[in-house]
């Protein structure tokens, strides 16, 4: 892992120091320094420089309340314009249901809404089947798991199944963070989202072996990529779809 300068395995994570149960040191990204930049161009200009441009075909952005505990009682999420009303709410019959149809405090409604916008713009109907590679904000292990559900890769409560079945690994149906993510690659905060976009640009152009000095991280034949950038406690979210 680049952040630590040495390989990290499962035992290292399990044996690392406890921070706040169940999170341990190696379940969390380290803040790092860095800068990143993208140059955007019109189709005409892009074709002057390359025969293999990468297009941004979908953009979505959304925000939510800062305190996660306030979200489940925010009646705005019951508005039919938003996407949680059709989700299966996993509350048992004996539990008091909140005013809003919002699964639980651990979900990110802004991720759900931003991805919905991006999918609609890009014409994506089944993200799990149509997206080839994903770089998402995993400042903590739990954040990645939560985002699987809100990005629409699975139903609410089934993010764990994607992990257990290996579907989000390199070689799986929908590889997530082949770069190593924020925990492995680094988290320079303000520059993190652009760094993820650059990584996906290299993925779609099959330039990862050159940039990473290894072909292990390259997703062969990838044509559609998703970037998820995350601010605060799921408070400010951007989702981009890239295609070649």
Q: Provide the 10 A C-beta neighbour count for residue 80.
A: 7
Size of the chain, expressed as the number of residues it contains: 244
CATH number, domain containing residue 80: 3.40.47.10
CB 134 within 8 A of CB 174: yes
- 13, part of any domain: no
CB 222 within 8 A of CB 203: yes
pLDDT (tens digit per residue) in 6-58: 788 889 999 999 999 989 999 888 888 888 899 999 999 999 999 999 999 99
Q: Is residue 108 part of a domain?
A: yes
Number of domains in the chain: 1
Indicate whether 207 belongs to any domain. Answer: yes
* Domain assignment of residue 16, yes or no: no
For 118-127, the pLDDT digits (tens) are 999 999 999 9
CA 117 from chain center: how many Å? 15
Report d(CA 63, CA 60) in Å as an integer: 11
Q: Establish if 20 belongs to a structural domain.
A: no
Say if 14 falls within a structural domain.
no
Helix, strand or coil, per DSSP, at residue 39: coil
Question: What's 10's DSSP letter?
Answer: H
Q: Is 194 contained in some domain?
A: yes
pLDDT tens track for 62-88: 998 888 888 877 777 766 666 565 556
What is the domain range of residue 100? 33-243
Q: Which residue has the tokens 């890239």?
A: 242
In a domain, 2, yes or no: no
């Amino acid at each position: 892992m680049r952040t630590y300068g040495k390989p990290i395995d499962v035992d290292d994570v399990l044996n690392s120091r406890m921070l706040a149960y169940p999170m341990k040191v190696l379940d969390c990204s380290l803040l790092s320094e860095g800068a990143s930049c993208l140059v955007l161009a019109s189709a005409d200009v892009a074709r002057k420089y390359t025969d293999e441009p990468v297009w941004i075909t979908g953009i979505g952005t959304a925000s939510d309340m800062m305190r996660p505990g306030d979200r489940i009682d925010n009646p705005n999420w019951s508005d039919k314009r938003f996407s949680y009303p059709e989700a299966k709410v996993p509350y048992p019959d004996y539990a008091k249901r909140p005013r809003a149809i919002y699964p639980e405090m651990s979900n990110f409604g802004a991720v759900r809404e931003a991805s919905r916008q991006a999918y609609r713009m890009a014409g994506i109907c089944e993200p799990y089947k149509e997206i080839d590679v994903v770089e998402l904000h995993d400042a903590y292990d739990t954040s990645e798991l939560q985002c699987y559900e809100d990005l629409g890769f699975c139903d609410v409560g089934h993010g764990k199944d994607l992990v257990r079945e290996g579907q989000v690994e390199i070689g799986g149906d929908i590889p997530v963070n082949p770069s190593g993510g924020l925990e492995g690659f680094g988290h320079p905060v303000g520059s993190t989202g652009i760094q993820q976009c650059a990584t996906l640009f290299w993925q779609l152009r099959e330039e990862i072996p050159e940039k990473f000095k290894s072909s292990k991280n390259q997703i062969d034949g990838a044509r559609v990529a998703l970037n998820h950038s995350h601010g605060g406690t799921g408070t400010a979210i951007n989702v981009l779809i890239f295609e070649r």
